[in-house]
Each structure stands twice: as structure tokens, then as C-alpha cells.
Amino acid sequence: ADSYPNLKRDSRFKEVTADDVAFFREVLGSDNAIIDGVTKDASDDLEAFNSDWMKKYRGQCKVVLKPDTTEQVSRILKYCNENLLPVNPQGGNTGLVGGSVPVFDEVVLNLSRMNSIHSFDEVSGILVADAGVILQAADDHVAEKGYIFPLDLGAKGSCQIGGNVATNAGGLRLLRYGSMHGNILGLEAVLPDGTIVDDLCTLRKNNTGYDLKQLFIGGEGSIGIITKISILCPQRSPAVNVAYFGLSSYAKVQQAFREAKIQLSEILSAFELMDSQSQALYARASGARLPLESPHPFYCLIETSGSNTDHDSEKLTTFLEHVMGEEIVADGVVADNESQLQSLWACREGISEASQHFGGVYKYDLSIPLPDLYSLVEECRERFQSNGLMSDTDESKPVFDVVGYGHMGDSNLHLNVAVRRYEKEVEKALEPWVYEWVAQRKGSISAEHGLGLAKKEFIQYSRSETMVGLMKQLKKVYDPNGIMNPYKYI
């Protein structure tokens, strides 16, 4: 309760008792499948499930359940629904909006033990797997057959594919492979009353009424628990190239993006943006050396993926000659082996870790029309320069740095305010200012991370009253007792 002075525990909900634990134990049938902090002290074991990746959100759950079958999930949810015990679905707990950890004493239902791959069709590229499979493991599995999982992100070593679907995660190659809304062909989910919704379709086309699975994709665990997914995986490209550029202005970044689309067209698989501050922060936190000798205000990472090495290299060389010749790009490097390719990607993927390395981070994940995208970072930096809350040397100031990066190819900016410690004053300087700024430009306050607890008060900046009303009606249909992930965005 101390963590959230503005939130009140819903008094309708029952607290977990020893009898409830006995029921859960009987359903799960294994001591490894339950962390019981009700009948004994288990605070140390519960910590990882109560605390989020940014160490910003903290719950007080006393029991973690780790079912390994859909039937167990069904029995648990039915029981929780009948007994008004709230439930927090949890995957790899890498979410960045406080949706993955409880607010008060919700039961954590963690999917980590549901981690089997059921089938992979080598002709169609369709994978059917449990929700708790780690993203990296899913990609490794399909890679053996020459395919790629159509999602990649920095947290791939710990996030789960069910969590990716529940958040409709975007990631580093959405520009090429599209979103989960398009790639997921079917899923199995359990509703709060225990109903198992078997929509584990493996068809590419299926126009038979409402596409109900879409409500679970990006639903953030608000209407049920995803237990299995079926997903279409594209062919893995044998020829992959990565280039890293320095540019002198954001105008040049836009020009480079335009040229990349024109000249690299079908082989372009990622176009990522990093400002100089984000790269300096990455270098400082990781100790790594940046790829280019002299600093530049902006950097881009371009990846191409195609089927013919000679053809792709020729295209990339022509593109590079053009952008350097026209002085769109100031300097650049192309990876000439796998380890260099990985270290160029690390300059982009390592920003998340670096952003919170010196204390904590306020993260804003925004869709903004491209011409305006970077101005927000500049305005935000000016704001902290003038309000006296930021210094990179004075330890008494809460803010350490303001950095901007993101998925340029999807008009998705990540504005990060790196702090020495979380302070209300910093949050007040940012919210609702950031959301107003974005709404004025008809952007979205959540491009890919979701709303969770972090943005629950701000949904109206991106969705009309009518739409929020419809969402609430749907929530009531699926979860009339409101036990699923309560206190969050809906």
C-alpha cells in the first residue's frame, strides 16, 4: 500500500488464506510450482515476482503459481473468480509499464513452466507453442529449420512469447515483418471463469466472424490468460548486413531513411535511430567502445536481410556511396563479420540496460509523426536544463541525462530520462506534459510497451471517451468480477 499512496486496495477482493494455498497445491501437484508466502515467510523467493525490470513498480503478492497445463490454469482461474481472488498474469517480467507485477496482493500466475514447443511445419513456417516459451528459444527452434521468429527485441533472453503477444510487442524488425496482430494465426486462452477458448487456428485465412483473438493480443492480461499461440514465421534470410552511421542533424536522419527505403527497398529489415546522448550513455554504462572515432549528433543502424549476398552487398554499397556522396551521412561502418554485427546491434539494444544503470529511468514509448519525432527530446532536455533538476556531475540532482532513440522505421520514439533515483518532482515535470505534447501532434502515448499501471491515467490522450467506454464494456463481458490484472489500465 505504501508504494502507491493514490491507489486503494479493492475491498471486494479476498486475501489469500491457507485453505486457498492448499487448493492451489492440490491443483498444481508439485512443490516447485508454488511459492507460498501465506503459510510461511517466503519474502526472498517472492521478490523477483513482485518487482519489475526497472525496479520502479513493486507489489506485495504472497503467492506465486506456476501451472504447467492449460487445465491447471483453468481450475485456478475458476477458483479465483468464484472466491474473488485477483490474478496478475506474468510472463518473463520484462514489461516496462508496471503491468507485469502486482499492485497489492494479487496472486501471480506465472507462465514459465508452460514452455513446450508443440509443432513446427517446415513448409508453411507455422509454429505452435506454449505461452511460456522464451523468445530466444522459439527463435532458436525455428532457426534450425531456416526460419525466423517474426519479432526480435533486447529482452529476448527472458521475455516469453505469451508476454510478447499480450503486449503486442513491436521490437527491432516490425518494419519488415509487421506486428503480432498480423503474425499470430491463433491462440488458446483461459477466461476468468475457467473457460478454455480454443482458437489455436493454424490457417492463414479465416474470415468467420469477429476475430476475437485480437482482443488478447495487446490486451495486457486484462481479459484472460494466453496459454498457447500459433504464429507464422517467415523464411530466415541467409544474407544479413548491418551498417552504423553518424549524421549531423535529424533532417539528415530523415533523408537517410527515405534513401534507405528507395534504394534498399525489399531487403531493408531495420532502421533504428540513436542520438549521441544515448550512445554516450551506452558506452559509459557498458564500457564498450563506440564504432565511430569521432562523435556525431545522431546515429542510425540499418540492417538488410535478403537471399543473395552479392546482390545485397551491391545494393548496400550503392546506397552507402550515395548517402556519403550527397553528405547525408557523415561517417559509417559496415560489419564484416558476425561478431562486429553483434557489437553494432549492441550499441542499439544495450541502451535499455544503460538507461537505468545509474539509478532508474522514466521511459516514454511514443508514436510521433516523423517530422516532429525528435523535437520532443530536445524540448524535454531544455525543460530539465532550465528547471534545475538535471546535472551529469552534481549528485544532488535527480536527473542524470535525457536520451532519445527508437524504431525510426515505425515512427516510434523512446524518450528516456535517466535518473539517479526516482523522485516525484521529475515525474511531475514530465507528466502530463509529454502526453499533451504527443496528443497535440496526433501521436500515441504507447507505441509498443502498452499502458499497464504507468499510463492508466493517461489513456484519454490517445483514445476517445467512446473507445474507452467500449473497452470497459468488453472487459465486463470477459471479466465481470474484474479479477484479471486489476488496478491497471482498465
**Cβ 448 to ligand MLT, closest distance in Å?**
6
Helix H or strand E segment including 47:
helix 43-50
Among 59, 67, 99, 186, binds ligand FAD (CB under 6 A): 99
User: Nine-digit cell at 46?
Assistant: 517472492
The answer for residues whose C-beta is within 8 angstroms of residue 90's C-beta and 6 or more apart is 49, 100, 101, 108, 109, 110, 111, 163
Select from ligand MLT, ligand FAD, none the partner in contact with residue 414, using the beta carbon and a kind-dependent cut-off of 5 to 8 Å: ligand MLT
Select from ligand MLT, ligand FAD, none the partner in contact with residue 93, using the beta carbon and a kind-dependent cut-off of 5 to 8 Å: ligand FAD
Residue 279 CB neighbour total at 10 angstroms: 27
Query: 438-468 burial, b if ≥16 CB within 10 A, otherwise e?
Result: bbeeebbbbbbbbbbbbbbebbebbbeeeee
**Cβ 262 to ligand FAD, closest distance in Å?**
26
Pairing of strands 196-199, 117-121: unpaired
Measured CA to CA, the distance from residue 33 to residue 217 in angstroms comes to: 26
Binding pattern for the stretch 132-171 against ligand MLT, x by CB under 6 A and - elsewhere: ----------------------x-----------------
- The residue type at 464: S
Select from ligand MLT, ligand FAD, none the partner in contact with residue 192, using the beta carbon and a kind-dependent cut-off of 5 to 8 Å: none
Choices 294-302, 306-314, 351-359, 474-482 (CB under 6 A): range interacting with ligand MLT: 351-359
**Cβ 363 to ligand FAD, closest distance in Å?**
9
User: Nine-digit cell at 454?
Assistant: 504507468
355 binds ligand FAD per the rule CB under 6 A: no
Binding pattern for the stretch 461-490 against ligand FAD, x by CB under 6 A and - elsewhere: ------------------------x-----
Among 62, 252, 381, 414, binds ligand MLT (CB under 6 A): 414
Identify the CA nearest to 176 among candidates 143, 205, 151. 151
Among 70, 100, 115, 462, binds ligand FAD (CB under 6 A): 100
Q: Do 147 and 234 form a contact (C-beta atoms < 8 A)?
A: yes
Measured CA to CA, the distance from residue 376 to residue 36 in angstroms comes to: 46
Among 38, 131, 184, 390, binds ligand FAD (CB under 6 A): 131
**Cβ 431 to ligand MLT, closest distance in Å?**
17
**Interface positions with ligand FAD (CB under 6 A):** 53, 88-96, 99-100, 111, 131, 153-155, 159-160, 162-164, 166-167, 169-172, 220-221, 225-226, 352, 448-449, 452, 485
